[in-house]
Amino acid sequence: MTTTKISVPLLDLKLQYETLRAEVEPMLHEICDSQYFALGPKVVELENEISAYVGARRAIGCASGSDALLLALMALDVKPGDEVICPSFTFFATAGAIRRIGAVPVWADIDPVTYNITADTIAEVAKNCTRLKAIMPVHLYGQTVDMDSVLETASSLGVPVIEDAAQAIGSRDATGAMAGSRGTIGCFSFYPTKNLGGFGDGGMITTNDDALADRMTKLRVHGGERRYYHSEVGINSRLDALQAGVLLIKLQYLEKWHASRAKNAKLYNDIFGAAGSIGLVTPQPPTVPARHIWNQYILRVKDGKRDELRDHLTDQGIGSDIYYPVPLHMQECFADLGGLPMPETERAALETVALPIFPELETEQVEHVANTIVSFLK
């Protein structure tokens, strides 16, 4: 008797769309009939909903998460030659936005458990800064940095905090506050692979500072408060109404999707925990009221077996990925920057692998992925 191989993709957005098709398609027709595509009422509605969800006074839609970071830096008057502390273990856009305006990314190493930068690693690299203008922590994989200590350190250094919350909408810190609600500015991405993803690029900026919000609202439309009148040079970074409409529908399901991801993560942890010592380090949810939203489920594989395991998963029809194989301080375009050694960052790049975690996964699929890994490592 032959058995059917269980296929488990890293992500399958088609499954999510099938559950939303009946709501999304009429909305798309509505926007097409209105011919109001850039900014407009749908974007304002989404800004209000995200502001309420995150718990920030203001929210400003923009064209991408990358632009959200760029607009935040521009609004805080970060200039060429200024320094911004950020992790090297993150997506390129974090440091790319800093370098794009001529500022200097200053790399901070990460905590080996959460993969986030810490107040201690920030303070260590800040000692060598002479033009420090901001700190940009990343809430990586859906778990927040220790905001209390990061904000305290930033205050002692006299600089603002830009929260890169691209992977963390709905995450909560140790106080129960949402990512993007406590820093000077929060930056979100709605790229399709995110927990709240659109039908393309899209971003959002949050802040409790009305003056900063007003400025970023102008900066996203070439620095003009009204058409053809420009008080400063901005960029073209409008959020499309089509994206806003899709996101307004998906936002209604976000908490349910968070819960499904957390359920899948717990099942992984239970199976790996029951397997005993097989050279794995599993991610653990933080203590309530903090919350991990599991944008990624990251497994650490010891003893140099990560790549061999990935090959085996591919052979078995199981998707996986590495976030991130080349830390930013090792990228060719940043070769001139130097900085302190990044041992934890480089170790994570060699040992971590992302497993399927999307909400629509069946229990059987999660069990198959976990048991395949356990069998291989045993």
Domain extents for the chain? Answer: 15-251, 254-377
pLDDT of residue 1: 40
pLDDT of residue 3: 52
How far apart, in whole angstroms, are the C-alpha atoms of residue 328 and residue 94?
9
pLDDT of residue 125: 97
Which two tokens mark 360? Answer: 């629509």
Q: What are phi and psi of 293, to 5 degrees?
A: -100, 0
CB-CB contact of 111 with 140 (8 Å): no
Question: Torsion angle of alpha carbons 21, 24, 26, 30, nearest 10°?
Answer: -160
Which two tokens mark 139? Answer: 């809430």
DSSP per position, 245-265 = HHHHHHHTTHHHHHHHHHHHH
pLDDT of residue 192: 96
Q: Between 3.90.1150.10, 3.40.30.10, 3.40.640.10, 3.30.230.10, what CATH number should domain 254-377 receive?
A: 3.90.1150.10
Percent helix, percent strand, percent coil in the chain, to nearest 5:
40, 15, 40
Hunting for tokens 């927990």 — which residue is that?
Answer: 195
- Based on its alpha-carbon atoms, the radius of gyration of the chain, rounded to whole angstroms, reads 21
Per-residue pLDDT of the chain (378 residues; tens, 9 = 90+): 445 678 899 999 999 999 999 999 999 999 988 888 888 899 999 999 999 999 999 999 999 999 999 999 999 999 999 999 999 999 999 999 999 999 999 999 999 999 999 999 999 999 999 999 999 999 999 999 999 999 999 999 999 999 999 999 999 999 999 999 999 999 999 999 999 999 999 999 999 999 999 999 999 999 988 888 898 999 999 999 999 999 999 999 999 999 999 999 999 999 999 998 899 999 999 999 999 999 999 999 999 999 999 999 999 999 999 999 999 999 999 999 988 899 999 999 999 999 999 999 999 999 999 999 999 998
Q: Between 3.40.640.10, 3.30.470.20, 3.40.50.360, 3.40.50.800, what CATH number should domain 15-251 receive?
A: 3.40.640.10
Question: Does 254-377 match 15-251 at the fold level?
Answer: no
pLDDT of residue 357: 98
Provide the 10 A C-beta neighbour count for residue 346.
17
Which two tokens mark 6? Answer: 């269980």
Please list, in sequence order, all residues whose beta carbon lies within 8 angstroms of the beta carbon of residue 113, skipping any fewer than 6 positions away. Answer: 284
Hunting for tokens 């717990």 — which residue is that?
Answer: 266
Task: Give the closest residue to 285 by CA, choosing from 274, 273, 301, 303.
Answer: 273
CB-CB contact of 53 with 251 (8 Å): yes
CB-CB contact of 203 with 189 (8 Å): yes
Which two tokens mark 121? Answer: 């690693």
Q: What are phi and psi of 306, to 5 degrees?
A: -60, -50
CB-CB contact of 68 with 251 (8 Å): no
Provide the 10 A C-beta neighbour count for residue 21.
10
* Residues listed for the chain: 378
pLDDT of residue 309: 97
Question: Torsion angle of alpha carbons 96, 97, 101, 106, nearest 10°?
Answer: -70
pLDDT of residue 36: 85
How far apart, in whole angstroms, are the C-alpha atoms of residue 67 and residue 358?
26
Q: What is the pTM of this model?
A: 0.94
**Bridge partners, residue 298, by sequence:** 354
pLDDT of residue 6: 85
